[in-house]
A = this chain, B = another copy of it.
Amino acid sequence: MPVFDRVTIVGLGLIGGSLGMVIRRKRLAREVVGLSRHSATIRQAKQRRAIDWGTTDARTAVADADVVILAGPVETIIPTAKRLAPLMRRGAILTDVGSTKGAIVRALGRLPHGVQFVGAHPLAGSEQRGIAAAKPELFACSICVLTPTRQTNRAALRTVRQLWTRVADCVVTMDPVTHDRVLASMSHLPHVIAFSLMAATDASARAIAPRSFLDMTRVAKSDPDLWDDIFLTNRAPILAAIDGFTRRLAQARAHIAASDRAALQQFLRHANRLRTNLCDC
- A residues with CB within 8 A of B: 123-126, 142-143, 145, 172, 178, 181-182, 185-187, 189-202, 204-225, 227-228, 231-232, 235, 238-239, 241-253, 256-257, 259, 261, 264-265, 267-272, 274-281
Beyond A224-B272, A228-B261, A246-B249: 14 further Cβ-contacts under 8 Å? A192-B252, A193-B216, A193-B249, A194-B216, A197-B245, A199-B270, A200-B245, A200-B247, A200-B248, A209-B278, A214-B280, A220-B272, A227-B268, A246-B250
Known: A252-B196, A270-B199. A190 touches B213 (CB 8 A): yes
Q: How far, in angstroms, from A256 to B195 measured CA to CA in the complex?
A: 13
Is A206 a contact partner of B248 (Cβ separation < 8 A)? no
Is B186 a contact partner of A201 (Cβ separation < 8 A)? yes
Is B222 a contact partner of A272 (Cβ separation < 8 A)? yes
From B213, B222, B232, B268, contact of A256 by CB (8 A):
B232
Is B259 a contact partner of A192 (Cβ separation < 8 A)? no
Is B186 a contact partner of A208 (Cβ separation < 8 A)? yes
- Nearest CB in chain B to that of A141: its residue: B211
Q: For residue A204, which residues in chain B have a CB less than 8 angstroms away from its CB? A: 178, 182
Q: How far, in angstroms, from A239 to B250 measured CA to CA in the complex?
A: 10
Q: How far, in angstroms, from A161 to B269 measured CA to CA in the complex?
A: 36
Is B191 a contact partner of A212 (Cβ separation < 8 A)? yes
Is B195 a contact partner of A213 (Cβ separation < 8 A)? no
Q: How far, in angstroms, from A248 to B227 measured CA to CA in the complex?
A: 17
Q: How far, in angstroms, from A22 to B232 measured CA to CA in the complex?
A: 50
Is B274 a contact partner of A253 (Cβ separation < 8 A)? no
A144 → chain B closest CB, angstroms: 10
Q: How far, in angstroms, from A124 to B214 measured CA to CA in the complex?
A: 13
Is A265 a contact partner of B228 (Cβ separation < 8 A)? yes
Q: For residue A193, which residues in chain B have a CB less than 8 angstroms away from its CB? A: 193, 197, 216, 249
Q: For residue A274, which residues in chain B have a CB less than 8 angstroms away from its CB? A: 198-199, 201, 206, 220
Q: For residue A253, which residues in chain B have a CB less than 8 angstroms away from its CB? A: 192, 239, 242-243
Is B235 a contact partner of A257 (Cβ separation < 8 A)? yes
Is A185 a contact partner of B199 (Cβ separation < 8 A)? no
Q: For residue A250, which residues in chain B have a CB less than 8 angstroms away from its CB? A: 246
A29 → chain B closest CB, angstroms: 26
A100 → chain B closest CB, angstroms: 13
- Subset of 20 A-B contacts with CB under 8 Å: A123-B210, A124-B210, A124-B211, A143-B208, A185-B205, A187-B212, A189-B200, A192-B253, A192-B256, A193-B193, A194-B275, A195-B252, A195-B267, A196-B249, A196-B252, A206-B274, A206-B278, A209-B278, A221-B275, A232-B259
Q: For residue A178, which residues in chain B have a CB less than 8 angstroms away from its CB? A: 204
